[in-house]
Structure 1
């Protein structure tokens, strides 16, 4: 089974609404970023009590008269008001009436769904919420939560060059960074934060200081991950199409040939491709210093691998560090990066003392759900990217994960919030919410998307018209492949939540 999801170009402007929408969305994004940016409901999401206002009167809901500069506050110029626990909770019956009118399939299949008040956890809408279903890429939310809890949002992964056992040999050692760039390190970037050209230059300097003058041989150590590099749950067609690729603990561009590429075939051996690029950069940097690099790269023989404390054989000559785990989680949620998600799962397993394999990664992620006290006895995970129907997760479980991120006691999970795609603006929601039936949610709905041939899902959070924070998850299964109305149904339903003053 292959995934049907393909990124579409942003829809053209439509009439008067289309002309004003970009300005409206940008302003809403500025405000929306202020509201949930890494803060808990108590005290972060909660602010001082404010006077009751009519529905849709909050500053996050107003059409701006002027475009606010970043950091200049809300449409009124005085800054966005904090959310308040005094904001009314939607009436469940009134909310259900609206959602049942929009949450309808286009053809075969059915939708399940859950909406909760983020502060209290009260369930405001429940349609088969405990029924486990294929969640597609919504399962990435589980990996995001596990990575932030296990690794921490500030953790970075190191790619090192160490001295080999044989004089004149250097070993490129993967440490989990698959967002390496081929050029200089880019400190302000996530993709390409660590660059192989910078690593090569530092390696040349270290070799010069060590008095190395002869030809240098480059070896590759990518032994951090164990087990098969491909999950048995993945379709060969998906692999051939480039939805995912064999997993290694180092790669360029999240295992893409070019940094801007998001579709098409991937390198079969991303680690070796990175090593060969490093060898070329090392040869270029070494030429001016009189160093030559032997052609070809081989993997380190198992007999030459030694413990980290073995001395000279593992002396670190140079290293570069990745962007933080928090930044990488933002990227995998915003772009729904399958490769990065699976690698992050294996890094969670390694940090948990489990084998850094597919099975170890799944076990480590599910363990984190249990520690979050999210019931997972019914949950089944065959991978972490969501490429298979064998994954079975309920809307209630996904909603609970989002609630843990917005209002739970573990503040490390707040780092995931900024990575949720914003309706009509960013990531996999960037080209959606552009017509009159969904414009009420533009700039307000923040949600992880998920799409397979017969599956569509949307899980996230939104501030309603009364200023109440709601979390939600909607999952459609057994749908008619290619039926455009299913995506529209989810977007209209999330927009109804954003516009709700349901009392």
Structure 2
């Protein structure tokens, strides 16, 4: 039986959102989406002015009257305790409340950890050091590793290179799997780099070089090594489209249609993208009298000729969205394919083979360098599609604490990508009933779901203004039991409402 249990959830359509959520949440959504990622969280909660009148919780939990950027804020800003004098919740009082909500519906059990983000003080610990299958919560490890190794501003280049044989163009993969088939879209993440734009620029370069055709297209996707599929993945998950063979070049994160998140995927995403490029090159070439031969074959891009010849010369290039923007997307939508590709790019930057094993080793190395012991952690993949993974709640909270308050400010870029309860990403359709509504708009957390696994790890500012990080992991659960997701959401909502003293 495949361990995957469908999609983790998506935000409801705009019409439904407007009908089902109060004005407060709609205002919070505007704040969450309008403020740049580097400063969105702290200033977004604070706001310099607020309407008068009593509030059921602290004023930092109300929507700000205006958006502001704190003095000195920048890419290194981000989460900090919103009230330096706010009391740390009493551990015993908090544990009593969490124990009442964190209960399995049927079989299985939950582990959990809650820490004060500023001090690291453990406020709740239920088997927090026990390694458990974390499902997609393991994506947090790759997000942190990518930001540290590649850097938030890194972009991946997809190039065309003059081949060794005159009249050949080599499409060279550089790790961008979010390519669009049309024109580059500078304001987008998916489709930021477009194959139509690359084709037109390539034709211009060919014209300048005196080419008349016919032109043949080759594909160099040799950046990745090893098997394209992890041996830990179930064939059923691959067939269902949860993931696909990995290549360093793809359209729409290896989907046939932009924005699609379910259903079968291309099994050779690189060749699918190369054929789309060849079609765009044919169109652009026809306009200026340059013919393009049908078909695409794989072949290596030559190194630049030492004598200054054409072979190996870069003809054109398009750049991906930044690593920060891609991390935001993979966390918000829980994109399995993008996560695994990002892991291989981390391996490449670390001097390791860009394979499944190399990617895992590179990510775990980054955890150790962050000061998070990884010896007890087992990662069979990076997307979380297998029950073979073992990560503890303490390790996950340590990663999130490093993102929120740690000294490596590159990790701040991950914060805006955490889904917001009741509003965005895989939490968009949750936190809508009376038992969880208190966390809507406040809880920001990464979800995780397999047939017998459910997890939620993230951060929240409590009613006293204290920033808390948390991780809750359920294993051995009854498949399909709705109460388990509700238990997680109620528990996180308790943290948001906590004035636990």
Report the equivalent of 1:370: 368
1:293-340, Cα deviation, whole Å (9 max, x unpaired): 10100000xxx5543565532100000000000000000000000000
User: Which residues in structure 2 correspond to 1:51-130 (within 5 Å)?
Assistant: 56-62=56-62, 83-130=82-129
Distance 1:20 1:167, change over 3 A: closer
- Residue 144 of structure 2 is aligned to residue 145 of structure 1: yes
Count residues in correspondence. Answer: 483
TM-score by length of 2: 0.91
Query: 1:35 touches 1:45 (CA, 8 Å); kept in 2?
Result: no
- Residue 303 of structure 2 is aligned to residue 307 of structure 1: yes
Query: 1:201 touches 1:285 (CA, 8 Å); kept in 2?
Result: yes
Residue 177 of structure 1 aligns to a residue in which SS? coil
TM-score by length of 1: 0.91
Report the equivalent of 1:24: 24
Q: 2:326 aligns with which of 325, 328, 337?
A: 328
Query: 2:80 touches 2:404 (CA, 8 Å); kept in 1?
Result: no
Distance 1:35 1:215, change over 3 A: closer
Report the equivalent of 1:77: none
Structure 1 alignment gaps of length 5 or more: 49-53, 74-79
- Residue 396 of structure 2 is aligned to residue 398 of structure 1: yes
Query: 2:160 touches 2:315 (CA, 8 Å); kept in 1?
Result: yes
Distance 2:425 2:266 in 1: 24
1:354-382, Cα deviation, whole Å (9 max, x unpaired): 00000000000000000000011100000
1:196-239, Cα deviation, whole Å (9 max, x unpaired): 00000000100000000020000000000000100010000000
Distance 2:380 2:301 in 1: 32
Residue 311 of structure 2 aligns to a residue in which SS? helix
Query: 1:213 touches 1:291 (CA, 8 Å); kept in 2?
Result: yes
Q: CA RMSD in A?
A: 2.9
Residue 376 of structure 2 aligns to a residue in which SS? coil
Report the equivalent of 2:210: 211
Query: 1:276 touches 1:297 (CA, 8 Å); kept in 2?
Result: yes
User: Which residues in structure 2 correspond to 1:178-257 (within 5 Å)?
Assistant: 178-257=177-256
Distance 2:69 2:348 in 1: 43
Report the equivalent of 1:496: 494
1:117-176, Cα deviation, whole Å (9 max, x unpaired): 000000000000000000000000000000000000000000000000000000000000
Distance 1:418 1:10, change over 3 A: closer
Residue 264 of structure 1 aligns to a residue in which SS? coil
Distance 1:399 1:288 in 2: 56
User: Which residues in structure 2 correspond to 1:412-431 (within 5 Å)?
Assistant: 412-431=410-429
Distance 1:236 1:41 in 2: 40
Distance 1:31 1:107, change over 3 A: same
Query: 2:47 touches 2:65 (CA, 8 Å); kept in 1?
Result: no
1:11-57, Cα deviation, whole Å (9 max, x unpaired): 799xxx99673411122345567999536999999999xxxxx9954
Residue 21 of structure 2 aligns to a residue in which SS? helix
Query: 2:9 touches 2:427 (CA, 8 Å); kept in 1?
Result: no
Report the equivalent of 2:455: 457
Q: 1:466 aligns with which of 448, 453, 464?
A: 464
